[in-house]
Amino acid sequence: MKMSRTSSISLLAVLCAVAALSAGCSSNNNEEGSSGSSPAAGGASASASASAAPSAPVKLTIAQMDGGRVWKEDNPATLELEKRTNTSLEVNMIPSGDFLNKYNVMAASGSIPDISKIPNFEFEKYADNGLFLDIGDLVDQYAPNLKNAIDPELWDLVKYKGKQYAIPYQNVPGKIVPAVRQDWLDNLGLQMPKTLDELETMLKKFTTDDPDKNGQNDTYGLGSTGNWKGDFTMIFGAFGVMPFDSSGTRQAYLQDGVVYSSQISEGYKNAIAYIKKLWDEKVIDPEVFIIKSDQAQQKLVQSKAGLFTAWWSIAPEVLKNNLKMNEINPDAKWNPLLPAVTGPDGKSGLESRGSINGTINISAKAKDPVAAIKFLDYLATDEGWELATYGIKGQHYIDLTQGRTEEGQKAMDEKWLDPLAQIIYRPDMVDKVNDASQSPTQIEDNRFIKAAREYNLYADFFYGVPLTDAEKNLDPDLMKYEDEMFIKFITGAESLDKWDEYVANWKKKGGKEILEARVQAYNEMHGTSYKAGV
Amino acid sequence: MGTRSMSRKGPADVIILIVLLLLCATTLYPLLNLIFISLSDMEDVMRSGGMLLYPRSIHWDAYDYILRYAGLADAYKMTIFITVVGTAINLVMTTLGAYVLSIRDMPGRNALMTFVLVTMFFGGGLIPTYLVVKGIGLVNTPWALMLPGAISAWLLVLTRNFFQGIPKELRESARIDGCSELMTLIRIMLPLSMPIMATLALFYGVGHWNEYINVVIYVNDEKLNTLQVLLRRMYTSAIGEVDGDSLPPPVETIRAATVALTALPIICVYPFLQKYFVQGMMVGAVKG
């Protein structure tokens, strides 16, 4: 058939439109990892435009991780907050897992909000591109409450290249607690272990002496939480090193002006030897390296292990409340193992979870940075913090010690009352509230929260130092090697006699290069002149 | 199908039947287990280690927890909206594009086809795409979730192949009877293309229903959040619950309930479309 020419051409025209659409847009379907953000912001125009007319509310945009909260336009608590601070807020709650993806596209398109809460030390990358304002002077001038609410040490910790781009979001670094089955100890007539030897004895008896008195040989001493990197922290601490923490960060320590990596330290070797002994005695849950956290927690609930090490909330909150441990076994009782067991040199401790877990940053393009700072300052006052966290006094809560009203509790259940509670953290206020609580859950929680803060903590020497190129290139392979070797040494697939070979390989595979690069980055950041000990 | 009479059932048939039933059970059980967990008491779930053959008692706590969540109704509305309207847009655009490309004597057809095919393998990347979407003013509107992906190159090819399988004489005779191209498409081609339309609707519909990452990237307004975004947020908040005043929610059952609420509505669509679905895929594949 011959088609008429004109109709073919009109078809062509339609097709062009269609093709253009599909060409331009079909890539949307790919979930791409973020490529690096391109510098988008121009010079920082920190024109401190003093808000002359207090009558008109200042518009402020905020982006943060949602933390499970919903932003509700007609939330009386945030409306009250807007009234008291004379602002009009526009808040973007971004799902935590995809925060950086989204923030990268916002940054690349030059549309970051006035106030951003960025996880960890990620702000450094954006600050390098000139996206954030140096707010040191503004804070001094306009935000006395904010300044006082946060430790001076933390303010210094987030200083980057000599400038204050960030307001630290405080974090309590002591969050890890080794928890022991007190009822098992009682059944066997044991005391809390104080040394590594006593720990070994306890684990052995937990394994072989039927601590739950069910007549079956179905228990282990050391249980898992589904992340083996966190399961041995107390043992490492007793040997005076923290080779890695539960999030996988390799640690380093300073000695006499030289920075050493814990991954190749003598203490680490000794710790491995000790753990290997436990492994050979079969007192460690053999699934420790492969189990997932759900199953691991179920095992703990089913009384398969008598000791584990994890966040403070696992024993009282997750096992007892969420997973109904006491309904299944009414006698089960977890106690914090405090103080932590000490090693041959009298050392002890656990991993630190870091003293900040995010930063608040002000956009270099913010129309009214002073208003933004003042707003944050209000959130740092007792009154502002209470409003952001508990809602309106009398309506949503009675007072800090007596807790929420029914209306406030309902709003919390619906997840909309406190969307701005994660901007400024006031540990002192939180403690005050927790201490006053009459709720049995909170009282149980408090035992673990308090215990977690008692331990000596091993923090990484490089905490807060931005990622170096050497790490970006070499770290994945090196970490894989480290993990493999740790597991091989423990399970006996590789003899510990090969330790020197391991150290040599470690240096060759990038350990040396990374450590040197990090020391250099640290020296540049802090103006020191430490050496790398490799 | 079903026309062949099964007059005699030999032992082989019985074995085949048993094997198929077992196979059926292995695919069905995980889903049922999930629903049982979502309806159970947390204690039962923990005792059984997460495997339930039937719920020992019915509890609605998990659903209660989810349905209390503020904004859930809006999210459902939003998801249904983008699923219905988005799929309609997809169908119109894909059909138009595929029809044109299925006409063999159209000038420049191969070049244009190549142009479409390239997008199957290369994308612009997240940030450039975002800039385009932002540039045409779609950010923070529901249209950012429907227009940019209006055509999937793969489904366009599938549809084109289907159209090519329809005898071109039909189109010619329609021409002779005075149909315009559009009328030919609507009156002749579409009635013959219901299998592929059902396939398209299903693929696109499920895609819209499960929309997550695009919502995160393109939408800032809380009111425009879809079900998936809200349920994920709800779930993360449930596992991270450390509010001293209220008992933490039953996490396992909530997780199961979340999946049930998300997956069941779309699973309900399958049986109605499935017969077309298989047929549509096959026809497009064989005759292309």
For the segment A121-145, what is each residue's pLDDT rounded down to a tens digit?
999 999 999 999 999 999 999 999 9
CB-based contact A216:A189 (threshold 8 Å):
no
Residue A468, number of CB atoms within 10 A of its CB: 20
Tell me the C-alpha distance between B198 and B279, whole Å: 10
- Whether the pLDDT of residue A310 is over 60: the answer is yes
Residues B99, B196: one domain?
A: yes
Residues B34, B140: one domain?
A: no
B150–chain A Cβ distance below 8 A for any pair: yes
Indicate yes or no: CB of A105 within 8 angstroms of CB of B126.
yes
A441–chain B Cβ distance below 8 A for any pair: yes
Using CA atoms of A294, A297, A302, A306 in order, give the dihedral in degrees to the nearest 10: 150
Query: Residue B172 contacts by C-beta under 8 Å, 6 or more apart in sequence?
Result: A1
**Nearest chain A alpha carbon to B135:** A109
- Whether the pLDDT of residue B5 is over 70: the answer is no
Q: What is the pLDDT of residue B250?
A: 62
Name the residue type at position A337.
L
**Nearest chain B alpha carbon to A404:** B245
Tell me the C-alpha distance between B167 and B172, whole Å: 9
Q: A305, A290, A104, A76: which is closest to A212 by C-alpha?
A: A305
Instruction: State the residue range of the domain holding B29.
Output: 1-59
Asked if residue B283 is part of any domain, the answer here is yes
pLDDT digits (tens, 9 = 90+) for A411-449: 887 888 989 988 998 988 988 888 888 888 888 889 999
Task: Tell me how close the Cα of A20 comes to any Cα of chain B, in angstroms.
Answer: 9
Q: What is the pLDDT of residue A305?
A: 94
User: Which of A103-107, B91-95, B124-128 is predicted least confidently?
Assistant: B124-128
pLDDT-derived band at A225 (thresholds 50, 70, 90) equals confident
- Whether the pLDDT of residue A45 is over 50: the answer is no
Indicate yes or no: CB of B129 within 8 angstroms of CB of A95.
no
- Whether the pLDDT of residue B82 is over 60: the answer is yes
Rounded mean pLDDT, B238-256: 59
Contacts of B134 in chain A (CB under 8 A): 109, 111
Indicate yes or no: CB of B119 within 8 angstroms of CB of A70.
no
Token reading at A238: 């007793």
Tell me the C-alpha distance between A7 and A381, whole Å: 72
Residues B9, B125: one domain?
A: no
Rounded mean pLDDT, B84-107: 93
Residue appearing with tokens 């189990």: A291
In Å, the largest CA–CA distance within chain B is 78
Residues B32, B82: one domain?
A: no
Q: Which candidate from A11, A68, A404 shows the least CB-CB separation from B245?
A: A404
Task: Tell me how close the Cα of B22 comes to any Cα of chain A, in angstroms.
Answer: 27
pLDDT digits (tens, 9 = 90+) for B167-184: 888 888 898 999 898 999
A94–chain B Cβ distance below 8 A for any pair: yes
Q: What mean pLDDT, rounded, does chain A reach?
A: 86
- Whether the pLDDT of residue A267 is over 60: the answer is yes
Token reading at A2: 């011959």
Tell me the C-alpha distance between A333 and B171, whole Å: 79
Tell me the C-alpha distance between A517 and A301, whole Å: 45
User: Which of A276-290, A498-512, B214-228 is predicted least confidently?
Assistant: B214-228
- Whether the pLDDT of residue A21 is over 70: the answer is no
Indicate yes or no: CB of A27 within 8 angstroms of CB of B249.
no
pLDDT-derived band at B249 (thresholds 50, 70, 90) equals low
CATH code where residue B110 lies: 1.10.3720.10
Q: Helix crossing, B194-209 with B153-165: angle to 10°?
A: 170
The proportion of chain A whose per-residue pLDDT surpasses 90, expressed as a percent, equals 60
Interface of A with B in 274-293 (CB under 8 A): none
Q: What topology does CATH give the domain A176-351+459-532? A: D-Maltodextrin-Binding Protein; domain 2 (3.40.190)
Token reading at A8: 């073919």
A403–chain B Cβ distance below 8 A for any pair: yes
Q: Which position has the higher pLDDT, A240 or B50?
A: A240
Indicate yes or no: CB of A25 within 8 angstroms of CB of B150.
yes
Residues B14, B85: one domain?
A: no
Beta bridge partners of A118: A359
Indicate yes or no: CB of A439 within 8 angstroms of CB of B245.
yes
Asked if residue B252 is part of any domain, the answer here is no
Q: What is the pLDDT of residue A18?
A: 43
CB-based contact A42:B167 (threshold 8 Å):
no
Indicate yes or no: CB of B116 within 8 angstroms of CB of A23.
yes
Q: What is the pLDDT of residue B238?
A: 66
Q: A326, A297, A328: which is closest to A313 by C-alpha?
A: A297
- Whether the pLDDT of residue B277 is over 70: the answer is no
- Whether the pLDDT of residue B191 is over 80: the answer is yes
Task: Tell me how close the Cα of B115 comes to any Cα of chain A, in angstroms.
Answer: 7
- Whether the pLDDT of residue A528 is over 50: the answer is yes
Q: What is the pLDDT of residue A248?
A: 85
pLDDT digits (tens, 9 = 90+) for A348-393: 999 998 888 899 999 999 999 999 999 999 999 999 999 999 999 9
Residues B175, B117: one domain?
A: yes
pLDDT-derived band at A249 (thresholds 50, 70, 90) equals confident
Q: Which position has the higher pLDDT, B195 or A16?
A: B195
Contacts of B49 in chain A (CB under 8 A): 298, 302
Asked if residue B236 is part of any domain, the answer here is no
- Whether the pLDDT of residue A17 is over 60: the answer is no
Contacts of A35 in chain B (CB under 8 A): 125-127
B56–chain A Cβ distance below 8 A for any pair: no
Residues B217, B77: one domain?
A: yes
Contacts of A304 in chain B (CB under 8 A): none
Indicate yes or no: CB of A27 within 8 angstroms of CB of B150.
no
Q: What is the pLDDT of residue A54?
A: 54
- Whether the pLDDT of residue A13 is over 50: the answer is no
- Whether the pLDDT of residue A12 is over 60: the answer is no
- Whether the pLDDT of residue B106 is over 70: the answer is yes
3-state DSSP of B65-92:
HHHCCCCHHHHHHHHHHHHHHHHHHHHH
Tell me the C-alpha distance between A531 and A528, whole Å: 10
Q: What is the pLDDT of residue B283?
A: 54
Q: What is the pLDDT of residue B91?
A: 96
Task: Tell me how close the Cα of A217 comes to any Cα of chain B, in angstroms.
Answer: 19
- Whether the pLDDT of residue A26 is over 70: the answer is no
Domain ranges in chain A with CATH number 3.40.190.10: 58-169+356-425, 176-351+459-532
Residues B213, B89: one domain?
A: yes
pLDDT-derived band at A16 (thresholds 50, 70, 90) equals very low
Query: Residue B25 contacts by C-beta under 8 Å, 6 or more apart in sequence?
Result: none
Question: A58-169+356-425 domain in CATH 3.40.190.10?
Answer: yes
Token reading at A7: 């109709």
Tell me the C-alpha distance between A170 and A209, whole Å: 44
What is the DSSP secondary structure assignment for residue B224, as one 8-state letter? G
**Nearest chain A alpha carbon to B133:** A25
Name the residue type at position B166.
I
pLDDT-derived band at A28 (thresholds 50, 70, 90) equals very low
Contacts of B223 in chain A (CB under 8 A): 73
pLDDT digits (tens, 9 = 90+) for A48-76: 344 444 568 999 999 999 877 888 888 99
- Whether the pLDDT of residue B185 is over 80: the answer is yes
Residues B143, B198: one domain?
A: yes
Residues B4, B46: one domain?
A: yes
**Nearest chain B alpha carbon to A64:** B220
- Whether the pLDDT of residue A147 is over 80: the answer is yes
Q: Give how many domains chain B has, as a whole number.
A: 2
Is A129 in a helix, a strand, or coil? coil
Q: What is the pLDDT of residue A168?
A: 95
Token reading at B144: 């950012």
Burial category of A415 from C-beta neighbours within 10 Å (exposed 0-12, middle 13-18, buried 19 and up): buried
Interface of A with B in 473-532 (CB under 8 A): none
- Whether the pLDDT of residue A22 is over 90: the answer is no
- Global pTM reads 0.78
pLDDT-derived band at B247 (thresholds 50, 70, 90) equals very low
Q: What is the pLDDT of residue A34?
A: 36
Is B50 in a helix, a strand, or coil? coil
Residue appearing with tokens 């699923």: B83
pLDDT digits (tens, 9 = 90+) for A313-352: 888 888 887 788 888 889 999 999 989 999 999 999 999 9
